[in-house]
Structure 1
Amino acid sequence: MAEQLPRTAGVLLRGCGSATPSRSISNDELSQRVETSDSWIQSRTGIAARRVVGPDESLAALSAEASRQALAMAGWSAESLDLILLATSTPDDLFGSAPRLQAALGANQAAAFDLTAACSGFLFSVVTAAQYLRTGAMRRVLVVGADQLSRWVDWDDRRSCVLFGDGAGALVLEACDDGRDDLEGFVLRSDGSRGGVLQLPQREEHQALIDGASHQIGGFQTIQMNGQEVYKFAVREVPAILQTLLSKTGTEPEQLDWLLLHQANQRILDAVADRFKIPQAKVLSNLASYGNTSAATIPLMLDEAVRDGRIQAGHRLASSGFGAGLSWGAALLRWSGPA
């Protein structure tokens, strides 16, 4: 379990944004490709449709649009950013896509790098950003969660292709010296010994180089998932880590305004809410419209709920990300919004 350093500065959540591909593919449409049905998918996952990046769209463009919205909400210029963290497991460039995002935004003063932790990536990135802010090394940070899982889905595997979609969400955070703090606590965990139940492995293909030597051809397989094991992992570990978080912060479930979980399966969301006796009205979910967008799910849902007025300044949210690695985490957040 990650230990938290003593706080020096607080962290404020100032603005959010999101972007999704224009093309939505319904369950009925997907049934034209694989043997499935809307009722089968919805009863097992809660998903009714997903967005897929088209030929005139890109993950980079979605990330930039979500970022611009977050900056606009906060009233910040891109030049005021000190750091950009891009949480993605599906970058446009394996050497890193965050610098390209920095250039697209014109954030000339910001350092930028990718952070890969699959569906936990956004939450891990928010916690990472907070450490730069708490120490005083940075004052303003942009965190983006974005994934284009449609690149790596086997669209002929009906067990997995129904689950995933593409999207991007962004959050801007600011250091605060007056005692306020929107990141009230966090817990992060990983267990690589169980990583085989959800992975996107390399292709094991080699080619002769010279006599007595060969090289591996770059590339990856499609997403490999043991759905039953992933489900059991989530319904066991997510309530446990949330309980640890609430205990560490002295928070009772009834003190929460919202439960904001990684959007993977509606049954998981329902099981966690039932465990803590949190009313369904307090459980944020847009899974039906987007499916599992990996690192994008939490900021995508956050932005939707802020913009439609559900999340108000001062509201407290318990959030948890979980997925491949295996990795999982939880954070107790407060929404401040623009200054």
Structure 2
Amino acid sequence: MVQPGLRDRSAVIAGIGSWLPNHVVTNEDLAAQLDTSDEWIRSRTGIGTRHVIDEGMATSDLAVEAGSRALKSAGCPDVDGVLVATTTPDRPCPATAPDVASRLGLGSVPAFDIAAVCSGFVYGLAVASGLIALGALERVLVIGADAYSTILDPRDRTTRAVFGDGAGAVVLRAGHADEDGALGPFDLGSDGALADLITIPAGGSRQRSSPDRPVEREDVYFQMQGKKVFKNAVARMSESAREVLGRSGWTVEDVDHVVAHQANQRILNAVAAELGVPGERVVSNIERVGNTSAASIPLALVDAARSGALRPGDRVLLTAFGGGLTWGSTTLRWPDVVPLGR
């Protein structure tokens, strides 16, 4: 039962930031190494460039940079909790979030990782919103950060063409549901029966690698069954989006911007067509950054807000799909915040 004083309490976006590593890999760079071309990549993915981390960098470095910008955007030096959504933690153990919190100078606040692959940022928003609504925390830093270049098979032209590295973050504060920036209802789901569609087979407790029991080379890298992923991504994001719009009391016509996980331009186009949303309302930055997994939605939000396409009061639909399989959506009216990117 919700305490009377917390009944109208909601999580509100108070700041947002993003960061991309310096190193840019073009389609021409990949074509010099693999059997591919700029035309092949663009026609199948819509991607022209992607950013990758340099030797010696890790996911936590991306997360700290994006997190510091989100904190500055919010005008607050500290928060009560840190959530890091990632598929590429610095180590299998411990979680990456406590290290990020420490490096940001946030002291001993609760911090933990969320593993929902490309849906991780939306899952993180939902978890943080719940903690705020219950009164457990007042301000939460939610970061989506991934360094997919560290888990891709260097010989696989498909995955190397699609994925890039980056991080995006928001600061959520306690507020009211009628404020701009207040996160609306959430729709979340999963289907573990299709876990093998997006996976890294080795490295966990099921298939551990050791000198006495080596694993197949390809099993240590990210694997994806593209055609089946495409079909499920379009269906799940469309279904989830419709569900959350209904819970919000919105129609598709009410939505000013759809910010979907930047998986593939063809997927974005198919989701828009399935929902009946005009293409100009679908935010896309995938041509420049590729698929950045958990970082993709906050990166797209920062880019749209900095360009002026996303304005205070605009109605925004967020929807994501990732390995697990997982998916999730939510809605909000865009707040008057200053986005800080690289």
The equivalent residue for 1:14 is 14
Q: Secondary structure at the match of 1:188?
A: strand
Please say which of residues 50-59 and 289-298 is displaced more in the overlay.
50-59
Q: Which residue of 1 aligns with 2:257?
A: 258
Higher mean Cα deviation, 277-286 or 252-261?
277-286
**C-alpha distance in 2, partners of 1:337/1:56?**
37
Distance 1:116 1:56 in 2: 23
Instruction: Tell me if the contact between 2:175 and 2:182 (Cα under 8 Å) persists in the aligned partners.
Output: no
Distance in 2 (CA, whole Å) between partners of 1:240 and 1:139 is 32
How far apart are the structure 1 equivalents of 2:7 and 2:268?
Answer: 31
Q: Which amino acid aligns with 1:296?
A: A
CA distance in 1, matches of 2:246, 2:326: 21
Q: Distance in 1 between matches of 2:213 and 2:274?
A: 50
More displaced 10-residue stretch of structure 1: 243-252 or 179-188: 179-188
Q: Distance in 1 between the 2:284 and 2:68 partners?
A: 24
Aligned position for 2:48 = 48
Identity among equivalent positions (%) equals: 39
Match in the other structure for 1:130: 129
Query: 2: CA distance between counterparts of 1:158 and 1:168?
Result: 23
Q: Deviations over 1:90-138 (max 9, x none)?
A: 0112211111111111012521111111000000000000001101111
Q: CA RMSD in A?
A: 2.1
CA deviation digits over 1:230-258, x for unaligned, max 9?
01111222111111111222211111110
Query: Quick check: 66-75 or 197-206, which moved more?
Result: 197-206
Equivalent AA in structure 2 for residue 61 of structure 1: D
Q: CA deviation at 1:216?
A: 8.4
Partner residue, 2:71 = 71
Q: Secondary structure at the match of 1:76?
A: coil
2:184 touches 2:331 (CA, 8 Å); kept in 1? Answer: yes
1:278 corresponds in structure 2 to 277
The Cα shift of 1:179 comes to 4.8
Matches within 5 A, 1:153-164: 153-164=152-163
Contact 2:240 2:329 in 1 (8 A): yes
Counterpart of 1:182 in structure 2 is 182
Structure 2 residue 124 is the aligned partner of structure 1 residue 140: no
Instruction: Letter of the 1:191 partner, please give it.
Output: D
The count of aligned residue pairs is 326
Name the structure 1 match of 2:289: 290
Distance, in Å, in 2 between the alignment partners of 1:114 and 1:225 is 23
More deviation, 156-165/319-328: 156-165
Residues 109 and 315 of structure 1, relative CA distance in 2, 3 Å threshold: farther
- 1:185 shift after superposition: 1.3
**Off by >4 Å, runs of 4+ in structure 1:** 205-208, 214-217
Aligned residue in 2 for 1:238: 237
What are the within-5 Å matches in structure 2 for residues 62-101 of structure 1? 62-78=62-78, 81-94=79-92, 95-101=94-100
C-alpha distance in structure 2 between counterparts of 1:171 and 1:125, whole Å: 10
Indicate the residue corresponding to 1:211 in structure 2.
none
Distance 1:7 1:259, change over 3 A: farther
With normalisation by structure 2, the TM-score equals 0.90
1:254/1:29 Cα in 2 relative to 1: closer, same or farther (>3 Å)? same
Q: For residue 149 of structure 1, what is the aligned residue in structure 2?
A: 148
* Alignment deviations for residues 239-286 of structure 1 (CA, whole Å, 9 cap, x no partner): 111111112222111111100000011011111112222222211100
1:23-79 Cα offsets, whole Å, 9 max, x none, are 11111110111100111110111011111101254322221111111111111112x
- In structure 1, the partner of 2:38 is 38
Q: After alignment, is 186-195 or 243-252 more displaced?
A: 243-252
The answer to whether the aligner puts 1:110 opposite 2:109 as a matched pair is: yes
Tell me if the contact between 1:286 and 1:301 (Cα under 8 Å) persists in the aligned partners.
yes
Q: For the Cα contact (< 8 Å) 1:21–1:57, is it kept in 2?
A: no
Q: Residues 29 and 138 (structure 1 numbering): CA distance in 2 closer, same or farther, change over 3 Å?
A: same
- CA contact 2:202–2:209 (8 Å) conserved in 1: no
- Return the letter of the residue paired with 2:110: A
Structure 2 matches for 1:20-31, cutoff 5 A? Answer: 20-31=20-31
Q: TM-score, normalised by structure 1?
A: 0.91
**Matching residue's letter, 1:158:** R
Paired amino acid for 2:20: T
The 1-side partners of 2:50 and 2:173 are apart by: 32
Alignment match, 1:221: 220
Taking a change above 3 Å as real, the CA distance of residues 142 and 128 of structure 1, as seen in their structure-2 partners, is same
* Higher mean C-alpha displacement, 49-58 vs 189-198: 49-58
Name whichever of 24-33 and 154-163 sits farther off. Answer: 154-163
CA contact (8 A) 1:127 1:186 kept: yes
User: In 2, Cα distance between the equivalents of 1:337 and 1:14?
Assistant: 8
